[in-house]
Chain A
Amino acid sequence: MARLQSTQQLRQLKERIVAEKPADRRAIAVCAGTGCKAFGSFELVEAFRAELEKQGLDKEVELRPTGCHGFCERGPLVLLFPEGRLYQRVKTDDVPEIVEKTIKGGEVIERLLYEEPGTGKKFEKEEDIPFYKHQHRLVLRSNGLINPSSIEDYIAIGGYEALGRAFEMGPDAVLGEVKGANLRGRGGGGFPAGTKWELCKKQPGDLKYIICNADEGDPGAFMDRSIVEGNPHAVIEGMVIGAFTMGAREGYVYIRQEYPLALERLNKALDEARQRGLLGEDILGSGFGFDIKVNRGGGAFVCGEESALIRSIEGRRGVPRRRPPYPAQKGLWGKPTNINNVETWATVPLIVAKGAKWFTGIGTEKSKGTKIFSLVGKVNNTGLVEIPMGMSLREIVYDIGGGIPGGKKFKAVQTGGPSGGCLPASKLDLSVDFDTLIAEGAMMGSGGMIVMDESTCMVDLAKYFVQFLRSESCGNCTSCRDGLDWMHSLLQQVCAGEGTMELLDQIEQIAETVRVSSLCALGSTAANPVLSTIKHFRDEYEAHVEQGRCPAKVCKSLITYTIDADKCTGCLVCAKRCPESTIEGEKKKPHRIIQDGCIKCGVCLDVCKFDAVHVE
């Protein structure tokens, strides 16, 4: 792989690749993100390879394992070019048929198309599927198009051209563009990246660092993982542009050890970028040199907090410290450091390439551009979605997410990860942007979005998040460490029906102390799930403490499983499956649950075909 000595050579390389692989070339893109990999997409790639070879089509048809396409619910996904046809839930057995009928014959296989739940309507093209149609995919767009392990694929779609442009513009103009775009940090805080860059750029000295925060720790969030897995060069390019702007010579990607695939692809991308002269000394013949090291995180949620992350890179315990001084003033090894998250870095090349004016044309007045969310929970279309800032929660949950499965009722949506807030149905028309969410006691966070239906107990949910944060608090501040532990004990009491109304006040008071008197953002936001659920779902808390009732029928101490003798056919299935052997009864005679031994696991409810098991 030859080093590129100039932007001119980069352009020539791109032209050569595009000439070899024209856009209208026939290609099979198989999603090889972690989600589809779990569904067996790696085997699918091999099956396609073997089949294409067998049919003698391997030269003519390009087989391309790609990053995450976002529609994880329907994986493994296979996207067929040039038509943009999407097959979903594809199995290795389907491969010969796809090659025979669709690739060779141009025929559509109906059974593999996406079918809309409810309407039964089938969609042939990816772009027409409501899940994709309502999105605005800037950062994620390339994920389905390129092989993340091929720098040529990235260059073919215009990769590293923004870097070339940045070298032509010079650091001041690039900074002006990032500031003008009002790019706000996608990692949680929403702090303007340009302001941070400017502060770091202004610091004296030639030893500065750039960090990419890929320590995505929110339960159910996989935005950053999917970007690194699907388009690692976008992150690298963003970092080189940032380093050039601020005058840094060395960078770090702090990435979770639990992301093996992302790590593998990132390392491959770094190697290829070095070989191509896009990292290292004299990048693209500009005279500017910069390289990136990879630092693997040990799985502590708190290390996503920038000052804790910096300490962790230094080899110390990941504990946040008070700011100021900000990392831009005194960061890694005491030197000026700029830290942004994966999505922010991946957005930078787009802004430099297309300009601040283009970027500010998307989004709301104060929140520009798009934001990626991992849409999970009780929603039909779970997956990764990218939306323009300002879209309503309703559009995300219903238009993109396809609503709530099983005919159940929407109850709440939690945004912003474990320390985000829960918003009820009455807030569904809120605009999703940084400031609106914070004003409502929720937050953008890094982009976790969990949808809950009527079967979710909000007290139990609050307890779950408090439990998570209690375990993940670094343990420095009394208020966060002990306050969360205390709140958790009290919430356990509420869930056990042992609470009183005074207990609710006490929980709120402790939550307030945790919020205002802890050092870092983990502590100051940790009370959000409790405060927001008490605010919007107070009736559920009251039902637990005043009536000893769990309206969602979740809290085990407050529910009883019984068998309706009229409906029970005496099939013995529940009795056989009961792990505690606490269901008695003879064949063809109504069964009975011995309450003393019942652990309320719900297995009987799940296995009964006659709707004879009730929970009260």
Chain B
Amino acid sequence: MPVQVKINGIKMSAEPQETVLQVARRSGVHIPTLCHLESVESTGACRVCLVEMKLGGKTQLTTSCNAGVEDGMEIMTDTPEVQKHRAANLEMMLGRAPGSQKIRALAREYGVYESAYVPSEDPAIPGCILCELCVRVCEALGHSALAAVSRGGKKYIGTPHDKPSESCVGCGACAEKCPTRCIEMTDTKKTRTIWGQTFDFVSCETCGAPVMTVRQRTHAVETKELPEDYYTTCVACKQKNLAGRFARVGS
């Protein structure tokens, strides 16, 4: 049974399993996010997707990424209250990640140019806003090599016991999806270094470019029951190869 909600005064019909953010986005209403990714669980960590929610006579702020729609919900996505608290949260995150262009640009939209907040603990990873998107992505990919450690201001993201993790395959998804791009990942032609360990790349049979790490291939081959030589060419060469074959079929 679809539910009826209002977003910024406009009536909308939504599926009960949808989140406020999903309904807003597919209706063209912009809500900023930093730690949200459609394919992983939303935890409402960064707090920039805050919206004002009126339900059953009660008005409160809530994060839209993890709020399921309910019948009769009225959502306002850009009230002064929403702006004020998004700005305050952004100022805190800018204090953690002063070098992040993404956060700086978003903060600027809310009138925050510099942050007066300086975290009292030295960060384990400079620029990390502790949103755990990396942890969630890693878990969703079936590795769970990362976790949040400790709590409060001492919280940080790391591998178990801060040692190189056997579960890590060096896929780099954590670094790729990190909103502040703070996870250090160094690639050479043959190797990738991340989370304290160095992985060998599988080199493209055709051009020699990195395809993926050897451990990532092993994991993929094992879990997806693929032939061992499944990943032998890089994406570019694979495309070129395929295009050539289509061209031959076409002629």
Which residues of A approach B to under 8 Å, CB–CB? 300, 302, 317, 319, 321-322, 324-325, 470-479, 481-486, 488-489, 506, 509-510, 513, 516-519
Q: Are A300 and B43 in contact, with the CB atoms below 8 A? A: no
Q: Are A475 and B47 in contact, with the CB atoms below 8 A? A: no
Q: Are A513 and B119 in contact, with the CB atoms below 8 A? A: no
Q: Are B152 and A477 in contact, with the CB atoms below 8 A? A: no
Q: Which residue of B lies closest to A471 (CB)?
A: B152
A509–B152 Cα gap in the complex (Å)?
Answer: 20
Q: B31 on the interface (CB 8 Å rule)?
A: no
A513 surroundings in chain B (CB, below 8 A)? 84-85, 88-89
Q: Are A519 and B148 in contact, with the CB atoms below 8 A? A: no
Q: Are A478 and B155 in contact, with the CB atoms below 8 A? A: no
List 9 additional contacts besides A471-B152, A475-B151, A482-B92; criterion CB under 8 Å.
Answer: A317-B148, A319-B43, A474-B155, A479-B88, A481-B153, A485-B119, A485-B121, A486-B92, A513-B84
Q: Are B117 and A482 in contact, with the CB atoms below 8 A? A: yes
Residue in B43, B89, B154 whose CB lies within 8 Å of A479: B89
A479 surroundings in chain B (CB, below 8 A)? 47, 85, 88-89, 92
Q: Are B88 and A510 in contact, with the CB atoms below 8 A? A: yes
30 contacts between A and B (CB under 8 A): A321-B43, A322-B44, A471-B152, A472-B151, A472-B152, A473-B151, A474-B151, A474-B152, A475-B130, A475-B153, A477-B44, A477-B45, A478-B47, A478-B92, A479-B85, A479-B89, A481-B155, A483-B92, A484-B152, A485-B121, A485-B152, A488-B120, A489-B120, A506-B116, A509-B88, A513-B85, A513-B88, A516-B60, A516-B85, A517-B50
Q: B147 on the interface (CB 8 Å rule)?
A: yes
**Interchain pairs with CB closer than 8 A, number:** 105
Q: B235 on the interface (CB 8 Å rule)?
A: no
A302 and B151 in contact, given A322-B63, A477-B47 (Cβ under 8 angstroms): yes
Q: Are B154 and A471 in contact, with the CB atoms below 8 A? A: yes
Which residues of B approach A to under 8 Å, CB–CB? 43-47, 50, 60-63, 66-68, 70, 81, 84-85, 88-89, 92-93, 95-96, 116-121, 129-132, 147-148, 150-155
A353–B119 Cα gap in the complex (Å)?
Answer: 54
Residue in A321, A471, A510 whose CB lies within 8 Å of B151: A471
* Residue among A472, A510, A513, A518 with max Cβ neighbours from chain B (10 Å): A513
Q: Are B96 and A482 in contact, with the CB atoms below 8 A? A: yes
Q: Are B151 and A517 in contact, with the CB atoms below 8 A? A: no
A483 surroundings in chain B (CB, below 8 A)? 88, 92
Q: Are A517 and B92 in contact, with the CB atoms below 8 A? A: no
B84 surroundings in chain A (CB, below 8 A)? 513
Q: How far is the CB of B55 from chain A (nearest CB, A)?
A: 10
Q: Are B89 and A476 in contact, with the CB atoms below 8 A? A: no
Q: Are A519 and B63 in contact, with the CB atoms below 8 A? A: yes
A319 surroundings in chain B (CB, below 8 A)? 43
Interface of A is mostly: helix
Q: Are B63 and A470 in contact, with the CB atoms below 8 A? A: no
Q: Are A476 and B45 in contact, with the CB atoms below 8 A? A: yes
A542–B69 Cα gap in the complex (Å)?
Answer: 45
B81 surroundings in chain A (CB, below 8 A)? 516
A471–B155 Cα gap in the complex (Å)?
Answer: 9
* Residue among B67, B85, B154 with max Cβ neighbours from chain A (10 Å): B85
A516 surroundings in chain B (CB, below 8 A)? 60-61, 81, 85
Q: Are B89 and A481 in contact, with the CB atoms below 8 A? A: no
Q: How far is the CB of B75 from chain A (nearest CB, A)?
A: 15
A167–B4 Cα gap in the complex (Å)?
Answer: 43
Q: How far is the CB of B219 from chain A (nearest CB, A)?
A: 23
B119 surroundings in chain A (CB, below 8 A)? 482, 485
B70 surroundings in chain A (CB, below 8 A)? 324
Q: How far is the CB of B39 from chain A (nearest CB, A)?
A: 18
Q: Are B153 and A485 in contact, with the CB atoms below 8 A? A: yes
A471–B47 Cα gap in the complex (Å)?
Answer: 20
* Residue among A300, A472, A481 with max Cβ neighbours from chain B (10 Å): A481
Q: How far is the CB of B45 from chain A (nearest CB, A)?
A: 5
A325–B116 Cα gap in the complex (Å)?
Answer: 37
B62 surroundings in chain A (CB, below 8 A)? 322
Q: Which residue of B lies closest to A476 (CB)?
A: B45
Q: Which residue of B lies closest to A489 (CB)?
A: B120
Q: Which residue of A lies closest to B45 (CB)?
A: A476
Q: How far is the CB of A455 from chain B (nearest CB, A)?
A: 28
Q: Which residue of A lies closest to B62 (CB)?
A: A322
A517–B92 Cα gap in the complex (Å)?
Answer: 13
A513–B47 Cα gap in the complex (Å)?
Answer: 11
B43 surroundings in chain A (CB, below 8 A)? 319, 321, 476
* Residue among B45, B47, B68, B119 with max Cβ neighbours from chain A (10 Å): B47
Q: How far is the CB of A566 from chain B (nearest CB, A)?
A: 45
Q: Are B47 and A517 in contact, with the CB atoms below 8 A? A: yes
B117 surroundings in chain A (CB, below 8 A)? 482, 485-486
Q: How far is the CB of A31 from chain B (nearest CB, A)?
A: 35
A317–B135 Cα gap in the complex (Å)?
Answer: 12
A475–B43 Cα gap in the complex (Å)?
Answer: 12
Residue in B61, B116, B147, B152 whose CB lies within 8 Å of A470: B152
Q: Are B148 and A322 in contact, with the CB atoms below 8 A? A: no
A317 and B147 in contact, given A517-B88, A517-B89 (Cβ under 8 angstroms): yes
Q: How far is the CB of A258 from chain B (nearest CB, A)?
A: 17
* Residue among A474, A510, A517, A519 with max Cβ neighbours from chain B (10 Å): A517
Q: Are A473 and B152 in contact, with the CB atoms below 8 A? A: yes
B92 surroundings in chain A (CB, below 8 A)? 478-479, 482-483, 486
Q: Which residue of B lies closest to A483 (CB)?
A: B92
A479–B63 Cα gap in the complex (Å)?
Answer: 12
Residue in B46, B116, B147 whose CB lies within 8 Å of A478: B46
Q: Are B68 and A478 in contact, with the CB atoms below 8 A? A: no
Q: Which residue of A lies closest to B41 (CB)?
A: A321
A300–B152 Cα gap in the complex (Å)?
Answer: 11
A518–B67 Cα gap in the complex (Å)?
Answer: 13
Q: Are B150 and A475 in contact, with the CB atoms below 8 A? A: yes
A486 surroundings in chain B (CB, below 8 A)? 92, 95, 117
Q: Are B152 and A481 in contact, with the CB atoms below 8 A? A: yes
Q: Which residue of B lies closest to A475 (CB)?
A: B155
B44 surroundings in chain A (CB, below 8 A)? 322, 476-477, 519
Q: Which residue of A lies closest to B84 (CB)?
A: A513
Residue in B95, B118, B147, B148 whose CB lies within 8 Å of A475: B148
Q: Are B85 and A471 in contact, with the CB atoms below 8 A? A: no
Q: Which residue of A lies closest to B88 (CB)?
A: A513
Residue in A475, A478, A485, A518 whose CB lies within 8 Å of B93: A478
B85 surroundings in chain A (CB, below 8 A)? 479, 513, 516-517
A80–B70 Cα gap in the complex (Å)?
Answer: 60
Q: Are A478 and B152 in contact, with the CB atoms below 8 A? A: no
A485–B62 Cα gap in the complex (Å)?
Answer: 22
A317 surroundings in chain B (CB, below 8 A)? 147-148
A470 surroundings in chain B (CB, below 8 A)? 152-153
B120 surroundings in chain A (CB, below 8 A)? 485, 488-489
Q: How far is the CB of B154 from chain A (nearest CB, A)?
A: 7
B61 surroundings in chain A (CB, below 8 A)? 516-517
B67 surroundings in chain A (CB, below 8 A)? 322
Q: How far is the CB of B250 from chain A (nearest CB, A)?
A: 52
A471 surroundings in chain B (CB, below 8 A)? 151-154
Q: Are A478 and B148 in contact, with the CB atoms below 8 A? A: no
Q: Which residue of B lies closest to A302 (CB)?
A: B151
Closest 10 CB pairs of A and B: A475-B155, A482-B92, A513-B88, A517-B85, A485-B153, A473-B152, A471-B152, A322-B66, A478-B89, A475-B151
* Residue among A484, A510, A516 with max Cβ neighbours from chain B (10 Å): A516
Q: How far is the CB of B104 from chain A (nearest CB, A)?
A: 16
A132–B185 Cα gap in the complex (Å)?
Answer: 66
